[in-house]
Amino acid sequence: MDLHTTRDQDEIIESAQEYLLRELPADRAPTQKDTALSGRQWRGLADMGWFSMGLSEEAGGLGMSVVEEALVLREFGRNLAPPQALGTMLAAHLAAESGESALAAALASGDRRAAIAVPVQEGSTGGPWTGGYRLVDTDQADLAIGWSAAGAFLAPIAAFSGRAVVPSLDAMIQVTTAEGLDAGQAVWRSDNDGAFNARARVLTAAVLTGGAEAVCAVSVDYAKIRHQFGRPIGSFQAISHPLAKMATRNEAALACLYYAAVCVRDGKEGRDLYAASARSVAYHACYDNAAASMQIHGGYGQTYEYMPHFYLKRAMIYGLVGGGVAADEADVLAADSLL
Amino acid sequence: MHLDLTPEDLRFREEVRDWLSGNIPKESPPHGRYELRDYDMAWQKTKYAGGWAGIAWPKEYGGRGLSTIEQIIWYEEAAKAGAPDDGCAFVGLNHGGPTLIANATEAQKSFHLPRILSGESVWCQGFSEPGSGSDLGSLSTRAVIDGDELVITGSKIWTSYAQVADYQELLVRTDPDARKHGGITWVICDMKAPGITIRPITMTMGWDNHLNQVFYDEVRLPISSVVGEINGGWKVAMSTLSFERGTAFTARQIRLAKMVDDLVARAKTKTGPSGKAAFANDEIGRRLSRLRAETAALRGMTYLAVAKNVRRDQPGPDGSMLKMMVSKLGKEAQQISRLLMGADALVMSDEMAYHLYSFSNSVGGGTDEIQHNIVAERVLGLPKSN
């Protein structure tokens, strides 16, 4: 038993950090005007192999596991990569599992992008919800993926009726509302063994964990630089203790993520409980850390120019996808035992 | 990154399970002070006879010389099977013993360690004083060197099990002129020595068999009972505290998981004043769910801490995060327990006593406030607060 990352896994983390710091640093956010990555930026992520790393080699992937995917998505979360990245990774899995190999290849290569569909009500159990949706991160995406405990679907954006681009919670991300979905145009796959939802929960938890860690780090940096009463504010316990709480939430979120990811990869007992717990814990860590960070940043924390609010918004977004934290919390309670 | 046990670990776990199934005491712990010592020591002796005391302790002092993983397997299986906790053996097994292993002379080790493991001697702690709590370095119990003896005068407080203890890990000030941490010495105090008096302290739920204040009136201890250097006690003491925040939490984490499972089951069946199951109450449901998810996370944190400790060979400051998490979740479990009690909260039941006791989670073994300071300074690199 060893919950630590291996040397190979550390290398995956380091190469992701190095690439993203160069090509997609988080501090681009306040000045980013576009609501989509350029074709060159998107293809760069695809060329790193990240959208298909979890697919088998026969399916054109790198044959890695959900653990390695989670390690990369944690870095995506830190760097405010667009939700399309999570959507596209999951869509490639769904396409491959559904025998749509050309579609999987197009997603893996960066030719096509998948937004994330959030139904305004719970979906039915036999297929996708056909009522209204909020589609997250639609700019440059021609597909949208949605999932819950019942199953997952992938549909062309054109299959959603009554679409309208609306002002978005997060100005870096385009949101489109839709009145309905023509389910006949969607690829639907029932999640009978719960494996898809468990993977999706772990990967969502990974993005949220990275966000929680990043917003803690910017707050610690700020507390060291910002002076009041002739001292760095980080020397006041009124500031340092909330920061210590953030660090503790990060540790809990990361440990739960690792534990859940290993359970999903190895099909361990308790998989669903730990996967649901991982997203719930990571969501609260990201949201609570961002909220505390806004307070620590004082007036600057209320401005678009500073970083905390970006992570607050991402917490809200990733807390809603795939059945939402409400479904996680219900499943955590319904599970048999922690032991 | 994996959670698999090796074939040897699995065999070890089977051995533990087999042994536990035939050896756990049938009767639950008694309430009286001296009966409690007899009960805890009987369990310790049983474990020792079976070869389960000191699993990760060196072989030459009666341990098994196995790894932290085996120690964790033991803690997990024992807690799952409902075995008694270490009770008044805790300080010897988790503070005193490990401190001696790291710092003591051969003579001290070969005398004390086998006695701790075999359940012959009970240890207690003598760190906090009435005037020195979080600011432990300000302690003022004096020790004057007189020939080959230390003469000790002063007082210690919050000493668990002092009346039934044989030895105490005692911090005294040997140099009043040195800078705070410089003049402190760690000494083994014989609790039968003349000049010691013990006053029980009654806790909020009425228990008076746990906490004590200890007074020292010119108590004479041989210099040979000093562990480490004279005036070098701070370093010795710190090696104990980080140990306590290491694997010693494994058993508590499993007990907490059992308690949370039990709360979930109770909330499903128990009806509240409205006639509906407590479970259907949004506040209870949501708090229970978050408590359970965070308890799942705590299990990961424990394993991750162990994996880190193996790599750096000693517990790090992140043990403080583990401690804060354990204390927070233990308190929250007791808050939910109180909500489920309803009008029965008016009765001083064992459940209510444990509810009240849970407030000590974030005080004992270093307050949450001090843990926050440790994390801020040593994990996050923030400037010292003062």
Amino acid B351: pLDDT: 92
Nearest-Cα distance to chain A for B86, in Å, is: 21
Tell me, rounded to whole angstroms, the distance of Cα A132 from its chain centroid. 22
Closest approach of A226 to chain B, Cα-based (Å)? 12
The distance of B301 to chain A (nearest Cα, Å) reads 5
Tokens coding A94 = 């769904």
Q: Supply A266's token pair.
A: 């190895």
- Closest residue, chain A, to B374 (C-alpha): A244
Report the distance separating Cα A49 and Cα A110, nearest Å.
10
Quote the radius of gyration of chain A (alpha carbons, Å): 19
* Pair A4, B308: CB distance under 8 Å: yes
pLDDT of residue A121: 85
Q: Give me the sign of the Cα torsion angle B295, B301, B303, B306.
A: negative
Local structure of A126: helix, strand or coil: coil
A240 interaction partners in chain B (CB closer than 8 Å):
372-373, 376-377, 380, 382, 385
A14 pLDDT band (50/70/90 cuts)?
very high
Task: Give the single-character DSSP code of A166.
Answer: E
Contact B376 A244 (CB under 8 A): yes
Residue pair B289/A280 in contact (Cβ under 8 Å)? The answer is yes
Q: Which of B3, B279, B382 has its CB closest to that of A224?
A: B382
Backbone phi, psi, residue B334, to 5°: -70, -30
Is A262 an interface residue toward B (CB < 8 Å)? yes
With CA atoms as reference, report the closest residue to A287 among A261, A313, A268. A313
Other beta carbons within 10 angstroms of residue B17's beta carbon come to: 14
d(CA B198, CA B213): 6
**Of B244, B294, B351, B377, which is the active-site residue?**
B244
Q: What is the mean pLDDT of residues A47-59?
A: 95
Structural tokens at position B134: 């979080």
Cross-chain residue pair B289–A220, CB shorter than 8 Å: no
Nearest in space to A31 (alpha carbons), one of A304, A214, A311: A304
Chain B contact for A255 (CB, 8 A cutoff): yes
List A188's β-bridge partners, or say none: A153
Pick the closest to residue B127 from B83, B96, B75, B171 (CA basis): B171
Question: Given CB atoms, is A53 within the 8 Å cutoff of chain B?
Answer: no
Residues of B in contact with A67 (CB under 8 A): 1
Whose tokens are 């001296």? That residue is: B34
- Give B67's contacts in chain A (Cβ within 8 Å): none
Asked whether residue A336 carries a pLDDT value surpassing 80, the answer given is yes
Please classify residue B106 by burial: count the beta carbons closer than 10 Å to its beta carbon, then call 0-12 exposed, 13-18 middle and 19+ buried. exposed
User: How many Å apart are CA B176 and CA B139, to the nearest integer?
Assistant: 10
User: Quick check: A274 and B296 CB within 8 A?
Assistant: yes
Tokens matching residue B16: 């533990």
pLDDT at residue B239, as a whole number: 76
- The alpha carbon of residue A261 is apart from the nearest alpha carbon of chain B, in Å, by 9
B28 pLDDT tier (thresholds 50, 70, 90): confident
Beta bridge partners of B214: B156, B198
Would you list the DSSP string of A17-34? HHHHHHHS-GGGGGG---
Is there a contact between A277 and B292 if contact means CB atoms under 8 Å apart?
A: yes
> CA of A286, closest CA in chain B: separation in Å?
14
- The confidence score (pLDDT) of residue A124 equals 61
Question: What's the pLDDT band for B243 if we cut at 50, 70, 90?
Answer: low
Question: Given B298, B306, B385, which is nearest A236 (Cβ)?
Answer: B385
Per cent of chain A over pLDDT 90 is 94
| Nearest chain A alpha carbon to B377 | A240
The one-character DSSP state at A123 is P
Alpha carbon dihedral B173, B175, B176, B181, in 10-degree steps, equals -70
Helical segments of A191-235, H only: 195-225
Asked whether B167 and B123 are in contact (CB, 8 A), the reply is yes
CB B31 within 8 A of CB B75: no
Residue B244 clears pLDDT 60, i.e. is over it:
no
CB contact under 8 A, A244 and B383: no
pLDDT tens per residue, range A205-233: 999 999 999 999 999 999 999 999 999 99
Across the interface, of B2, B297, B318, the residue whose CB is closest to A277 is B297
Rounded to the nearest 5°, which phi and psi values hold at A147? Answer: -155, 160
Are A205 and A253 spatial neighbours (Cβ–Cβ below 8 Å)?
yes
B49: region left, alpha or beta (phi > 0 left; psi from -120 to 50 alpha): alpha
Residue of A250, A256, A287 to mutate when probing chain B, most B C-beta within 10 A? A256
Three-state DSSP class for residue A155: strand
Interface mutation target, options A241, A251, A257, chain B, most CBs of B under 10 Å: A251
**What is the distance between the alpha carbons of residues B171 and A72, in angstroms, rounded to a whole number?**
49
Measure in Å the smallest separation between the Cα of A130 and chain B Cα atoms.
29
Over chain B, what HEC string results? CECCCCHHHHHHHHHHHHHHHHHCCCCCCCCCHHHHHHHHHHHHHHHHHHCCCCCCCCHHHCCCCCCHHHHHHHHHHHHHCCCCCCHHHHHHHHHHHHHHHHHCCHHHHHHHHHHHHCCCCCEEEECCECCECCCHHHCCCEEEEECCEEEEEEEEECCCCHHHCCEEEEEEECCCCCCHHHHEEEEEEECCCCCEEEEEECCCCCCCCCEEEEEEEEEEEEHHHEECCCCEHHHHHHHHHHHHCCCCHHHHHHHHHHHHHHHHHHHHHCECCCCCEHHHCHHHHHHHHHHHHHHHHHHHHHHHHHHHHHHHCCCCCCHHHHHHHHHHHHHHHHHHHHHHHHHHHHCCCHHHHHHHHHHHCCCCCCCHHHHHHHHHHHHCCCCCCC
Distance from chain centroid for Cα B136: 18
pTM check: above 0.90: yes
Q: What is the overall mean pLDDT for chain A? A: 96
pLDDT digits over B252-281, tens only?
A: 888 899 999 999 999 888 776 667 777 777
Total Cβ atoms within 10 A of residue A56: 12
CB distance from A3 to chain B under 8 Å?
yes
Strand partners of residue B199:
B213
Pick the residue from chain A with its C-alpha nearest to B383: A235
Instruction: Give the A window 85-124 contacts with B, CB below 8 Å.
Output: none
Q: From B371, which residue of chain A is nearest by alpha-carbon distance?
A: A244
User: Do the Cβ atoms of B258 and A339 come within 8 Å?
Assistant: yes
* Contact check, Cβ <8 Å, B307/A247: no
Distance CA A259, CA B305 (A): 13
pLDDT at A172: 97
ipTM confidence score: 0.95
Whether the per-residue pLDDT at B114 is higher than 90: the answer is: yes
Q: Are strands A160-161 and A151-156 parallel, antiparallel or unpaired?
A: unpaired
Residue type, B237: A
Which residue of A4, A231, A247 is in closest CB contact with B380?
A247
Give the model's confidence band at B231: pLDDT under 50 very low, under 70 low, under 90 confident, else very high: very high
Q: Is A228 on the interface with B (CB under 8 A)?
A: no
Burial classification of residue B281, based on how many CB atoms lie within 10 Å of its CB (0-12 exposed, 13-18 middle, 19 or more buried): middle
**Tens-digit pLDDT profile for residues B118-159:** 999 999 999 999 999 999 999 999 999 999 999 999 999 999
Say whether B15 is catalytic: no
Q: Binning pLDDT at 50, 70 and 90, where does residue A199 land?
A: very high
Among candidates A3, A240, A276 on the partner chain, residue whose Cβ is nearest the Cβ of B385: A240
What is the distance in angstroms between the Cα of B324 and the nearest Cα belonging to chain A? 8
Q: Which of residues 263-302 of A touch B (CB under 8 A)?
A: 263, 266, 268, 273-274, 276-278, 280-281, 284
On whether the CB atoms of residues A133 and A177 are closer than 8 A, the answer is yes
Mean pLDDT, residues B185-204:
97
Average pLDDT over residues A309-326: 97
Edge-first strand listing for the sheet containing A187-190: A164-166, A175-178, A133-136, A114-119, A143-147, A151-156, A187-190
Paired strand residues for B375:
none
Report the pLDDT value the prediction gives residue B242, as an integer from 0 to 100.
61
Distance from CA of B375 to the nearest CA of A (A): 6
Are B3 and A328 in contact (CB < 8 Å)?
no
Whole-angstrom CA distances from B20 to A135, A296, B15, B248, B250 are: 55, 51, 9, 19, 17
B32 has a pLDDT exceeding 80:
no
Residue A261 in contact with partner chain B when CB distance is under 8 A: yes
Q: Which of B296, B311, B379 has its CB closest to that of A247?
A: B379
